[in-house]
Structure 1
Amino acid sequence: MLKKLLTLAWVLASVLVYAQPASDEAYIRENYTKAEYSIPMRDGIKLFTIVYTPKDASAGTKYPFLMQRTCYSVAPYGPDKYPVRLGPSPHLMREKYIFVYQDVRGRYMSEGVWTNMTPHIPNKKGKNEVDEASDTYDTIEWLLKNVPNNNGRVGQWGISYPGFYTTASSLSEHPALKASSPQAPIADFFFDDFHHNGVFTQGYYLTFPVFGIQHPQPTAQDWFSDEFIQPKPDGYTFNLNMGPLKNFNQYYKDNFFWQETINHPNYDEFWQKRNILPHLKGVKHAYMTVGGWFDAEDLYGPLTTYKTIEKNNPNIYNTLVMGPFGHGRWSRETGHTLHNDIYFGDSVATFYQRNIEQVFFNHFLKGAGDGKTGLPEAYLFDTGTKQWKQYEKWPVAQAKKQRLYFQPGGRLGFNSPTSRNSFSSYISDPLKPVPYTEDFQQMTGFTPFNYMSEDQRFASTRTDVLVFQTDVLTEDLTLGGEIMAQLKISTTGSDADFFVKLIDVYPDTVQNHAYLTDKEVVLAGYQQMVRSEIMRARFRNSFSKPEPLKPEQITDINFRLQDVLHTFKKGHRIMVQVQSTAFPLFDRNPQKYVENIYKAEASDFTKATHRVYHQSDAASSLVVEVLE
């Protein structure tokens, strides 16, 4: 059963196959010709590539290429086996493109050695210095010469890990590459997916067989299928009983990615060279970065990718799209659009596919390509008013920075505290960690689809969770832009984590909507999480050079929560919760400083009392951007 769940999750992440009308496969067979190639790279390695060409392509009817490069398999393999879908959406499939799918190095039917987040080589010397950019250049060059009836233009897209390949491939500098759309792209594994601000995403322990076992030779089959751990009876209990992270070594002592992870606990050269963001310079073609506001896997990636390209390449066509979606969910229509319990409207994915994505690719690959798409630079969904909004840039230039201050008595407001010697405290026990969700089934899998908008009432009643909230709002308040947590803390230990959550508290009069899948949910008084992030105190001054906390000393812990666009409506409240564990999504801090938490002993895990200060000379707050 676990393997089936994992396989389904990977399929969803890579967006290769999902529920589509049976007629789509028949449409593809009727309208596309399939061809399989092994394309040689400059160093002699051959990458397996499948090309689907419209049957009506001719000298008079030429089509552009639309390509996805992936580590998740380009199945189905075989000249007479067709997928149930082509391209990013069924709309583009019927628009007709020459769709290209490629297994990257060391994966499935491609030759070579696999590496995670292939380091980019900016100044290559000789044919043996290769990366995703060079592989993309060589692939495009081969396609242009060997696939007839193409119009000389190439676009690319990918979701999640394929989103990283889209970003890395955009650096190929091939003149035929006209449009790239990295969607939920991984940007940096120390801040995305496997870590958040260096905190290990423990729920991902299930994924290491996928990423940490080399395939012995090109194959159409999974070679890691017998390596998965069976978490029993549920993910929370299993992980708690596992004890320290070092105990996972019993499963992964031969897993190269696990060994790389545990031997590089800090942001050292190993992780730094896998960060694609510093290389996003000199980009000349059009970019559209796409993400979901409730993407539990890759939210840092799309936001920082867009902002980095904007900063380093100010004159190119560069746009950002953020919808009310979990990971990759904009690529499939569900009709009534929900994330967890929250209803956002109907056919939201279809709106994106037809009015944004299709316009982008058609313009740059089939149309004028002059950048006059009619689309704004930022097309973002307000998750409070539940409407699409358009902005000339992001963050919005007119946004006003304000501080939401923590106050005595669990209050939250825009006025700075005037009290002296004022703080809230809690005892954090790593042996009794706060669960990140009430959904034990979700904890058993590795992909936490729902928690990003989940009701937080289960946490607000715990003594190891601090709660601050505003009075009832007398008018709408829109937070749009970046959020920075600026905590003033002290602890009896020598290390600690701080998990901060921004929450929309619904009025007691709210009625349940008609599309709730769980009829036991009560939306009255719902505490909807809007944004959250975790920070490991040892990294407060440097992610590469950690340092312990000094017990009982007031210390600044500053870190960014990812952007929001959310209107807190009149009659609602704004709440902030602070806690030190969110288990088993994130690993537990021993709270005793050790050099490498991956190698900590059970005896290193200790209780600690944490204080969060709200006094005139030590005022904890969230720095937010308010839109009027």
Structure 2
Amino acid sequence: MTMLARLALLPLALAATRAPPLAAQQTPTMLDERVKQYDWVRPQADFVRRTVMIPMRDGTKLYTVIVFRKGTTDAPILLTRTPYDADASTSRKRSQKLSEIVRVGDVPFVEDGYIRVYQDVRGQHHSEGDYVMNRPLRGPLNPTKVDHATDAYDTIDWLVKNVKESNGRVGVTGVSYDGFTTLMAMIDPHPALKAAVPSSPMVDGWIGDDWFHNGAFRTFGFDYDLEQTVGKGAGEVPKGTGDDYAAYLAAGSAYDYAHAYGLTALPVVRKVLERPAYDAWWQGQAVDKLLAARTLTVPTMLVVGQWDQEDSYGAPAVYRALMGSGRPNAPVSLVIGPWFHGQNMSDGRQLGALKFEGDTGRQFRDRLMKPFLDCRLKTVAPPPCAPAGVFTYATGADRWETSATWPAGTPTPLYLAGGATLSWTKPAAGSDSYVSDPAKPVPMLPRPIKLSGDEWRTWLVRDQRFVDGRPDVLSYTTPVLNRAVHIKGAPRVDLHAATTGRDGDFVVKLIDVYPEEYAADPTMAGYQLGVGIEIFRGRYVNGFATPAPLEPGRTYAFGWSLPNADHVFKPGHRIMVQVQSSLFPLYDRNPQSWVPSIMAAKPGDYVKATQTIRWGGDAASAVWLPVAAD
């Protein structure tokens, strides 16, 4: 073809690459301008995004989003089953770049060729079926033939048969509720399930996760219940934007609060209000017990934040369950990092006033999570697979540590003593008292309080000086430390106390007191950092399933654990233990008189009580610290 002929054809070639011209006839001006859908993933995108309805064994179809980089082959699948909207999890930004549409924690995986899958659980968002909060395993509490375990099995089965870009190996992961569904996938697992990373999973909602802690009801759950079980736009409980402390105090009991805002219309709220004790309904849903009854076949990395404000109990409880019963070689690891709930999958440079050496969240993902999954999911795994173990971040010293077992410290008593002191040796007998007034409960934070946002995420590391010195808070302190005290485990509270009431709550805080002069970071001078804070409801002293009134004036031995921690109390610091009888409005008020259900207490049931904390002698109150040898 001559040059002249080529030039003659050039306009036709250019026209073929342009967008098609608008029709000669104009669009009617009164046309209904709504369209059914718009595909925001354009041909120039560097990824593939598919949405499918995967059938379960009972015919219910679950909405599933699959994303991966174009050209992917022989790739592992990383699955999350969630009530929090699969679409939103894979469209963080409506970009045409894969690393921009997924969440920060997913970026290392999709950039390394993983196929990322999110699925709406039954009854949520685009999935079919009924939604049941933390749907129990099929059996006594679930007469149907389906649950999260069967749904995970059916989903994995479909994925490995229909996603041709995969290598047939699947991992499951997720935070909070998604951590719960991750654990459920490990019960009677699909053969293609090769690894699991549950982060801050909901495990036992009564003992120490979302709804109760040692019998004390956590009021913040009302907002969650409303959000999860009502259609779009439900939002928070419409109590206004002021002080949550004032709103809960004015409402009265948990039931009165729920009734005032129409929450008793929600089945999940009624179920919780009707079951204040640790009955068979709660026990039958405890995932650690379900897993303990089975042999673990899926290598698992359990993850939790040291200052997890929502689910501090679950991951360590599952670790204990899986490592117990003569199974020391179970393929399970435990990771405890310096994080709030789920911060391991986001930026981990800072938590409230605490600043760390680098991005601890990214360090976890790069050094621990991804190598763990790569080793078990990739066709050509990078050898060798690291052995199971315990990986913790030592706060105070700012370093990652590895331990063979957990707890990794020796229980060492730090005794409450006279003169508001703490002693490493048992003192002579004595006591201190304070008056607990339900009309003036001790606040969890400086008022005004809002149980949401950054205030909620960071409340556990807030400076405790705002209550130090209150007449209804006892503070015991060591002398200035001349050597470091390193704890690795869950401190155990052994509190000997009496009350003039017939019930009562006790809150213990383990605190790191910074020096009054602190040149390393002047903003932290004198700071009282809560290392562990936990509550115990007195009526359960003889068993969580058998509440009973306390005998006024009788000394009881109350025992419970604080959250797991790897923390170094540095030389020049002091250790403090605070004791009080309320932590409001996070926990509902104990009326301190006897009522069958605190949930339904009436205004006249709330009475003042004198609480007596005994120390030394035969009633030696102490916090047993898991002290590690450095």
- Answering whether residue 249 of structure 2 is matched by residue 243 of structure 1, we say no
Residue in structure 2 matched with residue 195 of structure 1 by the alignment:
212
CA contact (8 A) 2:512 2:530 kept: yes
* 1:113 aligned residue (112, 130, 144): 130
Partners of 2:245 and 2:563 lie apart in 1 by 26
- Answering whether residue 395 of structure 2 is matched by residue 378 of structure 1, we say no
CA contact (8 A) 2:223 2:235 kept: no
Q: How far is the alpha carbon of 1:76 from its aligned partner? A: 4.0
Partners of 1:121 and 1:447 lie apart in 2 by 38
Aligned partner of 2:46: which letter? N
* 2:318 aligned residue (296, 299, 305): 305
Q: Cα deviations across residues 429-472 of structure 1 (Å, max 9, x unaligned)?
A: 01101110126354466972112111111111100001111111
- Answering whether residue 277 of structure 2 is matched by residue 263 of structure 1, we say no
SS in 1 for 2:501: coil
Q: Cα deviations across residues 461-516 of structure 1 (Å, max 9, x unaligned)?
A: 10000111111111111111121111111000000000100000111121363xxx
Deviates more, 1:231-240 or 1:405-414: 231-240
Task: Flag the 1:602–1:331 CA change in 2: closer, same or farther, 3 A.
Answer: same
Task: Flag the 1:226–1:381 CA change in 2: closer, same or farther, 3 A.
Answer: closer
- Answering whether residue 426 of structure 2 is matched by residue 410 of structure 1, we say no
- What are the within-5 Å matches in structure 2 for residues 509-588 of structure 1? 509-511=517-519, 513=521, 522-588=523-589
Partners of 2:283 and 2:51 lie apart in 1 by 36
- Answering whether residue 292 of structure 2 is matched by residue 275 of structure 1, we say no
Aligned partner of 2:389: which letter? E
Q: How far is the alpha carbon of 1:120 from its aligned partner? A: 1.6
Residue in structure 2 matched with residue 209 of structure 1 by the alignment:
226
Q: How far is the alpha carbon of 1:314 from its aligned partner? A: 3.6
CA contact (8 A) 1:124 1:130 kept: no
Partners of 2:548 and 2:200 lie apart in 1 by 32
Aligned partner of 1:240: which letter? L
Partners of 1:78 and 1:488 lie apart in 2 by 52
CA contact (8 A) 1:430 1:607 kept: yes
Q: How far is the alpha carbon of 1:121 from its aligned partner? A: 3.0
Partners of 2:577 and 2:357 lie apart in 1 by 27
Deviates more, 1:387-396 or 1:588-597: 387-396
CA contact (8 A) 1:160 1:183 kept: yes
Task: Flag the 1:558–1:441 CA change in 2: closer, same or farther, 3 A.
Answer: closer
Task: Flag the 1:314–1:435 CA change in 2: closer, same or farther, 3 A.
Answer: same
Q: How far is the alpha carbon of 1:159 from its aligned partner? A: 0.5
Residue in structure 1 matched with residue 611 of structure 2 by the alignment:
610
Task: Flag the 1:203–1:149 CA change in 2: closer, same or farther, 3 A.
Answer: closer
Q: How far is the alpha carbon of 1:593 from its aligned partner? A: 1.3
The alignment yields a C-alpha RMSD, in angstroms, of: 2.5
Partners of 1:155 and 1:74 lie apart in 2 by 17
SS in 1 for 2:401: strand
Q: How far is the alpha carbon of 1:233 from its aligned partner? A: 2.2
CA contact (8 A) 1:65 1:100 kept: yes
How many residue pairs align between the two structures? 579
- What are the within-5 Å matches in structure 2 for residues 423-462 of structure 1? 423-438=431-446, 440-443=448-451, 448-462=456-470
Aligned partner of 1:295: which letter? D
CA contact (8 A) 1:297 1:447 kept: no
Residue in structure 2 matched with residue 291 of structure 1 by the alignment:
304
Aligned partner of 2:74: which letter? K
Identity of aligned residues (%): 34
TM-score, L = length of structure 2: 0.87
Q: Cα deviations across residues 18-52 of structure 1 (Å, max 9, x unaligned)?
A: xxxxxxx9999733211111111111111111111
* 1:491 aligned residue (495, 499, 512): 499
Aligned partner of 1:140: which letter? I
Q: Cα deviations across residues 517-555 of structure 1 (Å, max 9, x unaligned)?
A: xxxx84211111100100001111111110110000111
Residue in structure 2 matched with residue 518 of structure 1 by the alignment:
none
Residue in structure 1 matched with residue 482 of structure 2 by the alignment:
474
Residue in structure 2 matched with residue 18 of structure 1 by the alignment:
none
Aligned partner of 1:340: which letter? G
Partners of 1:366 and 1:534 lie apart in 2 by 44
Partners of 1:165 and 1:84 lie apart in 2 by 23
Aligned partner of 2:502: which letter? S
Residue in structure 2 matched with residue 129 of structure 1 by the alignment:
145
Partners of 1:148 and 1:356 lie apart in 2 by 28
Residue in structure 1 matched with residue 343 of structure 2 by the alignment:
329
Q: How far is the alpha carbon of 1:370 from its aligned partner? A: 10
Residue in structure 2 matched with residue 47 of structure 1 by the alignment:
62
Q: How far is the alpha carbon of 1:223 from its aligned partner? A: 2.9
Partners of 2:484 and 2:203 lie apart in 1 by 34
Partners of 1:485 and 1:201 lie apart in 2 by 20
TM-score, L = length of structure 1: 0.87
SS in 1 for 2:486: strand
- What are the within-5 Å matches in structure 2 for residues 86-165 of structure 1? 88-121=105-138, 128-165=144-181
Aligned partner of 2:566: which letter? L
Task: Flag the 1:592–1:480 CA change in 2: closer, same or farther, 3 A.
Answer: same
Task: Flag the 1:226–1:319 CA change in 2: closer, same or farther, 3 A.
Answer: closer
Residue in structure 1 matched with residue 82 of structure 2 by the alignment:
70
SS in 1 for 2:369: helix
SS in 1 for 2:584: coil
Aligned partner of 1:320: which letter? L
CA contact (8 A) 1:153 1:176 kept: yes
SS in 2 for 1:171: coil
Aligned partner of 1:310: which letter? M
SS in 1 for 2:182: helix
CA contact (8 A) 1:511 1:523 kept: no
Partners of 1:194 and 1:124 lie apart in 2 by 18
Partners of 2:141 and 2:598 lie apart in 1 by 36
CA contact (8 A) 1:232 1:238 kept: no
- Answering whether residue 102 of structure 2 is matched by residue 85 of structure 1, we say yes
